[in-house]
Amino acid sequence: MEKKKVLVGMSGGVDSAAAALLLREAGYEPVGCTLRLYDNEDIGEPQEGTCCSLEAVEDARRACRRLGMDHYVFNFSETFRREVMDDFVETYRRGWTPNPCVQCNRRIKFEALTRRADELDIPYIATGHYARVDRDESTGLWRLLRGKDRRKDQSYFLYPLTQAQLSRLLLPVGEYDKQTIRALAASAGFGNAGKPDSQDICFVPDGDYAGFLQRYGGTELVPGDFVDEDGRVLGRHRGLPCYTTGQRRGLGVSADRPLYVLRKDEARNQVVLGDESRLYSRLVWAEDFHWVSLPPAGPLPVTAKTRYSQTEAAGTLYLEPGGTVRMEFDQPQRAVTAGQSLVCCCGEAVAGGGVICRAAPE
């Protein structure tokens, strides 16, 4: 019987290498591919460990060679620049804080994998994400499930996946915890078994977002006023892109109590500071909401996150006219930030997600 081929997105990290190994052991014929997502001329040579560095491409190639797999490198740098990097710049210009990993999955990675799989006549695609996929027999629709290792669960970043993509997607590492995956990779002789996880945005590996906006986006940092909620001037800021909701450090403002960034007023070029208690919101609105399967007929009890690192919290999701959704959390949530994603789950399954557009302070 002929083995079923699967195109595996290989980032050079341990998770995607382990995914290919698990698929081979499960009887598939894995074919590796690495997406080259930006050119060095855009930002300079990517640092070691990032997904687009030359080291990462070579790590992916070595893993494929060890498994006897074909390995392809596909260049999507022009599309990535337009759909992710330019969007990152424009979102910051709006005064929001973007999540480029969600945008990359939505607009680049999974479309690229499915397109290349079609060209190679490969029926399945796979990645090393810590999440799972199954089919709801009662509806016939595919479900995106959270990874079994809650500490590494990456379903938050995958909520934009379509039914067509989910029907072809295999996520083998979602059944395991990270420690087991590293041990599996080590036993297979992968050189990247102990490779640290990347913690930074791939095209801003030094974490200097303001510098990237200036170098790549030509964004001018216009100084303005720090003000309190009554409009009293507290000091001067370096430019709106240098700050995000909830930030405390690096403000350079002297006060008799800790001050936090509550919001940014783009029209007045002001950053509003206040007490931490003013950071909490119970009501959150999200736009461009994507339902993984079908939208509910009415209010939907869910657990949700307003950022990846946040602990999920219970509440109720309401549909509003025009496709916007309103989330009413049972308990107020800290530092809800426009531009980040609201991702909602019903039990193990991801119901859907969207981009946060506003929140109402308590």
Please check the confidence at residue 115 and state whether its pLDDT lies above 90.
yes
pLDDT score for 28 = 97
Residue 104 catalytic?
yes
- Per-residue pLDDT, 53: 64
Is 45's pLDDT higher than 50? no
Q: What is the pLDDT, as a whole number, of residue 37? A: 85
Residue 202: active-site member: yes
| pLDDT attached to residue 191 | 85
The answer to whether residue 49 scores a pLDDT higher than 50 is no
Strand 233-237 and strand 224-227: the pairing is: antiparallel
Structure tokens given for 347: 């039990």
Instruction: Kindly report, residue by residue over 183-227, the tens digit of the pLDDT.
Output: 999 999 988 888 887 767 888 877 888 899 999 999 999 999 999
| pTM for this predicted structure | 0.92
Give the model confidence (pLDDT) of 284-315 as tens digits.
999 999 999 989 999 999 999 999 989 999 99
| CA–CA gap between residue 315 and residue 300 (Å, rounded) | 9
Q: Which of 51, 52, 64, 202 is catalytic?
A: 202
Average pLDDT, the chain: 92
Would you state the pLDDT for residue 3? 75
Look at residue 39 in the predicted model and tell me its pLDDT. 64
Which is the catalytic residue, given 33, 51, 101, 104?
A: 104
Residue 247 clears pLDDT 80, i.e. is over it: yes
Domains and CATH numbers, the chain: 5-187 (3.40.50.620), 221-274 (2.30.30.280), 279-361 (2.40.30.10)
Strand 270-274 and strand 224-227: the pairing is parallel
With a pLDDT cut of 70, the percent of the chain lying above it is 95
Proportion of the chain above pLDDT 90, given as a percent: 81
> How many Cα atoms are found within 13 Å in the side-chain-facing hemisphere of 284?
36
